[in-house]
C-alpha cells in the first residue's frame, strides 16, 4: 500500500514539474516570419525570429534549431540538409533579462535559399529554442511559387508574324477553293450547243 502511495506521489510530482515548465515556456513568446510574402525557387530570403521574455526572471537561450520544409537526409553527401542550429561561442547563445527590462528580448535574422529541386515538402519553417526555462517552439509560414516563364517581346512578335502569314495563306487557299467550286457549277459558254440554223432558200429559175 505504501509503495502505491509513493508511486502516485512521484507521478503527481512529475506532472506538477511538467505543468510548471509548460506555463513557464508559454510566458516566453516566439514570433517568426519571413522578409517576403512569397518566394521563387532558387531565391534567397531571411527568417526573422523574435523572442520575448515575459517572466520576472532572466532567461538564457542555449541554441535555436531551424528546420525548413526541405529538411532531408542526402545520402550522396551523407548529411542532413535544410536545417540550421544557431549557437553561441559558449553554451549560452544569449541572455534575456526579466520582463519589462531593456534587454528582455532576442532577435535574429538567419538567411536561407529556396532549393530548385523537389525536396520542398510543406510550407512551414519549424523553430525549436532551448532555454534555461525549458524548450519552447514556434514556426513561420513559407509560401513558394513555381516560376511563370514570360513571353519575350521578340518571341511575341515572331508569333504574331507567323499567325498573320498563316491567316493570309488560309485566306488565299479558301478563295481558290471557292473560285473552282463556282466554275464547276457553271457550264462553259463555248460548250453550250446551239440550235441549227436552216440554210437560205435557193432562188427559183
pLDDT of residue 168: 85
pTM of the predicted structure, to 2 decimals: 0.61
Contact 106, 28 (CB under 8 A): no
> Which residues lie closer than 8 Å to 4 by C-beta, 6 or more apart?
none
CA dihedral for 54, 56, 58, 61, sign (positive or negative):
negative
pLDDT of residue 31: 97
* Tens-binned pLDDT, residue by residue, of the chain (205 aa): 555 554 545 445 555 454 444 444 559 999 999 999 999 999 999 999 999 999 999 999 999 999 999 999 999 999 999 999 999 999 999 999 999 999 999 999 999 999 999 899 999 999 999 999 999 999 999 999 976 656 556 666 777 788 888 888 888 898 888 887 777 666 555 555 566 666 666 666 5
pLDDT of residue 61: 98
CATH code: domain 27-145 is 2.60.40.10
Residue 6 main-chain phi, psi, to 5 deg: -65, -45
For the chain, domain boundaries: 27-145, 150-180
Amino acid at each position: 500500500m505504501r509503495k502505491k502511495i509513493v508511486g502516485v506521489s512521484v507521478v503527481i510530482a512529475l506532472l506538477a514539474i511538467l505543468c510548471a515548465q509548460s506555463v513557464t515556456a508559454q510566458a516566453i513568446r516566439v514570433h517568426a516570419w519571413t522578409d517576403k510574402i512569397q518566394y521563387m525557387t532558387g531565391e534567397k530570403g531571411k527568417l526573422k525570429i523574435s523572442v520575448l521574455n515575459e517572466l520576472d526572471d532572466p532567461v538564457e537561450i542555449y541554441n535555436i534549431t531551424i528546420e525548413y520544409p526541405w529538411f532531408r537526409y542526402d545520402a550522396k553527401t551523407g548529411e542532413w540538409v535544410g536545417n540550421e542550429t544557431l549557437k553561441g561561442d559558449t553554451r549560452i547563445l544569449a541572455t534575456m533579462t526579466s520582463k519589462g527590462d531593456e534587454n528582455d528580448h532576442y532577435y535574429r535574422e538567419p538567411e536561407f535559399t529556396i532549393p530548385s529541386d523537389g525536396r520542398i515538402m510543406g510550407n512551414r519553417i519549424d523553430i525549436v529554442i532551448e532555454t534555461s526555462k525549458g524548450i519552447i517552439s514556434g514556426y513561420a509560414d513559407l509560401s513558394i511559387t513555381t516560376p511563370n516563364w514570360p513571353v519575350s517581346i521578340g518571341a511575341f512578335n515572331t508569333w504574331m508574324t507567323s499567325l498573320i502569314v498563316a491567316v493570309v495563306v488560309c485566306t488565299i487557299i479558301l478563295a481558290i477553293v471557292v473560285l473552282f467550286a463556282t466554275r464547276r457549277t457553271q457550264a462553259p459558254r463555248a460548250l453550250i450547243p446551239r440550235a441549227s440554223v436552216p440554210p437560205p432558200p435557193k432562188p427559183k429559175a
